[in-house]
Amino acid sequence: MLTMEEALKQADMRFAPGQIVKGTVIEVRPKEVLVDIGYKSEGTVPGIEFDDIKQVKLGDEVDVLIEKLEDKDGMVVLSKEKAEFKKNWDNILTICNEGGTITGRVKAAVKGGLIVNIGVEAFLPASQIDIVPPKNLAGFIGNTYEFKVVKINQERQNIVLSRRELIENERNEKRSKLLTDMTPGDIRKGTVKNITDFGAFIDLNGIDGLLHITDMSWGRIGHPSEILKVGQDIDVVVLDINKEKERVSLGLKQKLANPWENIESKYQVGNKVKGKVVNLVPYGAFVELEPGVEGLVHVTELSWTKRIAKPSDVLKVDQELEAVVLGINREEQKISLGVRQLETNPWDKAMEKYPAGTHVKGKIRNLTSYGAFIELEEGLDGMIHVSDISWTRKINHPSEVFKKGDDVEAIVLEVDKANQRISVGVKQLSEDPWSNIDKFYKVGDLVSGKVSKLASFGAFVGLEHDIDGLVHISQVSEERIDKIKNVLKVGQDVTARVIKIDKGERRIGLSIKAAEYSPEQLKAEQAILDSLKPGEDLVALQHAFDAADESLKQTDDKPDKE
């Protein structure tokens, strides 16, 4: 018969490290649970191994694995998780070998992923949590999900899981079904997943579709974010399906009637319309007449008379504007508008108001190299060409005679309605003195005047009737003259004899030295002038004036040689 001591030893042989035994909860502490396994001393299980230690009650039965029969305090060290791991390991191996799925509860977040309890602890990499790796892993702790076992190491007894593969498989099934069931024209519910400059991607619960910015609204949109935001639920129209590339084109504006369908009945050519300026570009202004319908006011249609460089000089965005419909193109969805048509075109009455010969007055508004502009009335200018300033003087630039703001009288010469030009002249206010030059000057006349210009070939003398005569350098003195400026100065009073008059070429030749000549001597001097070569015939005033300025400049720039 066994003694008590031998009986206890034999009983203790039933307990060894690594065994799984059933125990009873006898005490619940804050961080551990006391379990009686029928051994000579109780065992402890860490509280963290229970899903919720607060739910553990006295008398609960649990399967535990013996880790140590006695620690330093004489207690048995037990593990509930390791008992579950050992019991589930064979089941896990079967699932893994079959590539199956398993349900687990996220236990904790660690570096690179999550720890999941599937009966044993398994690792879920962050890249396998969802299709898009989440930024906040803590949000998954405590939740239960379905997982796929993707890798197992039997030696180390660790398992790698994937939730992403199950989600992708589910989405692929949904995508295939959606592509099969979906037809153009369908209205589908979706969620805005992403917004770009060119549109938005809509999640149709299984497949993403592109909603292009041009299909969002019949009206003008600068950026999709003006009407959509990420996470927003919307109804969209299926426009096109490419099953091979698995692409779906969506529309939002197609849920509403196209405002351009009956555009001609709403906006007829010649009608006045009102709208709001929505965009300004260098060539015109876009005016919204109603949502989805815009018209263009070209910069040339802003005013009959003002030269507007760009619309932003006279218009602002959001400004209310009235205009006239000039044209409609429904196919291209374009409406041409005009603002100037709201007023009478002043050029329609310009020909009857300013017929040729009309005497006009106005201020010089602008000067250009070819003429001066005189304001006849608001929006109407007359142009005085440099050739119409003087009958006798060669005007190189209108600033020689006029300056801005001068009050000027003129005669209307021509009205060109097609090109919107009115030509006026100042010299026409008086008679051309060359038409009656014989009344004023004859060969042999003795005349007086002031030197107006000097040139290397002679001097110009201002005479009466605003006419200049030319004294050739050979006609200044009986002695040879090298430089005209050595004997004559601008502004000097001189007396000279008229030795040549060419009415056709509008030229007068003078001679200072011939002031005391006899008629025979005058004829001789005239013969000398007539014999000059074409290049030397500088009495032709129209060319002489130009040559005088350049020649005088060159003469002044060169130092005198002794």
pLDDT digits (tens, 9 = 90+) for 504-543: 778 888 988 888 877 777 777 667 666 654 334 444 443 4
| 273 and 249 within one domain | no
Report the alpha-carbon distance of residue 102 to residue 194 in Å, rounded: 32
Task: Tell me which of 255, 272, 295 is where a domain ends.
Answer: 255
The Cα 508–Cα 549 span in angstroms is 19
Kindly report the CATH number assigned to the domain that includes residue 234. Answer: 2.40.50.140
Q: Are residues 444 and 545 in the same domain?
A: yes
- What is the rounded distance in angstroms from the CA atom of residue 436 to the CA atom of residue 19? 142
Inside any domain, residue 1: no
pLDDT at 525: 66
Provide the domain limits for residue 60: 19-80
Asked if 513 and 469 sit in the same domain, the reply is yes
Is residue 5 very low, low, confident or very high in pLDDT (cuts 50, 70, 90)?
low
Q: Does 455 share its domain with 533?
A: yes
pLDDT at 411: 92
Under 8 Å CB-to-CB from 62, ≥6 apart: which residues?
22, 23, 24, 25, 35, 45, 80, 83
Give the DSSP per-residue string, 211-259. EEGGGT-SS--S-GGGT--TT-EEEEEEEEEETTTTEEEEESGGGS--T
> Residue 212 pLDDT more than 70?
yes
Cα(117)–Cα(561) distance, rounded to whole angstroms? Answer: 113
Query: Is 96 within a domain?
Result: no
223 and 301 co-located in one domain: no
Total domains, the chain = 5
pLDDT at 306 over 70: yes
151 part of a folded domain: no
Return the structure tokens found at 332: 């291209």
Asked if the model's pLDDT at residue 296 lies above 90, the reply is: yes
Instruction: Output the average pLDDT for the chain.
Output: 83
Sole residue written with tokens 């032709």: 540
Q: Is residue 487 part of a domain?
A: yes
pLDDT tens by residue, 228-264: 898 889 888 888 888 777 788 898 888 877 888 888 8
Looking at residue 560, its pLDDT comes to 44
424 plus 443 within the same structural domain: no
Within a domain: residue 147? no
Q: Are residues 292 and 316 in the same domain?
A: yes
Q: Examine the domain organization and report whether 424 and 459 are in the same domain.
A: no
- Cα–Cα dist 411/537, whole Å: 34
Last-in-domain residue among 255, 283, 305: 255
C-alpha closest to that of 435 among 538, 357, 504, 509: 504
Closest CA to 498 of 448, 453, 552: 448
Residue 200 lies in a domain: yes
Q: Would you call 167 exposed, middle or buried from its count of C-beta atoms within 10 A (0-12, 13-18, 19+)?
A: middle
- As a whole number of angstroms, the distance between CA 65 and CA 112 comes to 30
- 288: helix, strand or coil: strand
Q: Are residues 416 and 442 in the same domain?
A: no
Residue 106 reports pLDDT greater than 90: yes
Q: Within this chain, do residues 213 and 301 fall inside the same structural domain, yes or no?
A: no
Q: pTM above the 0.85 mark?
A: no
CB atoms within 10 A of CB 503: 12
Asked if residue 30 belongs to a domain, the reply is: yes
- Please tell me whether residues 306 and 385 are part of one structural domain: no
The last residue of a domain, from among 30, 52, 80? 80
List pLDDT tens digits, range 442-490.
888 898 999 988 888 899 998 887 788 899 988 888 888 888 888 899 9
Q: Tell me the three state secondary structure of residue 413.
A: strand
**Do 487 and 450 share a structural domain?**
yes
The two tokens of residue 252 are 């939002």
What is the per-residue pLDDT across 334-343, written as a single tens digit (0 to 9) for each?
899 998 888 8
Closest CA to 236 of 182, 199, 193, 190: 190
Q: Is 136 contained in some domain? A: no
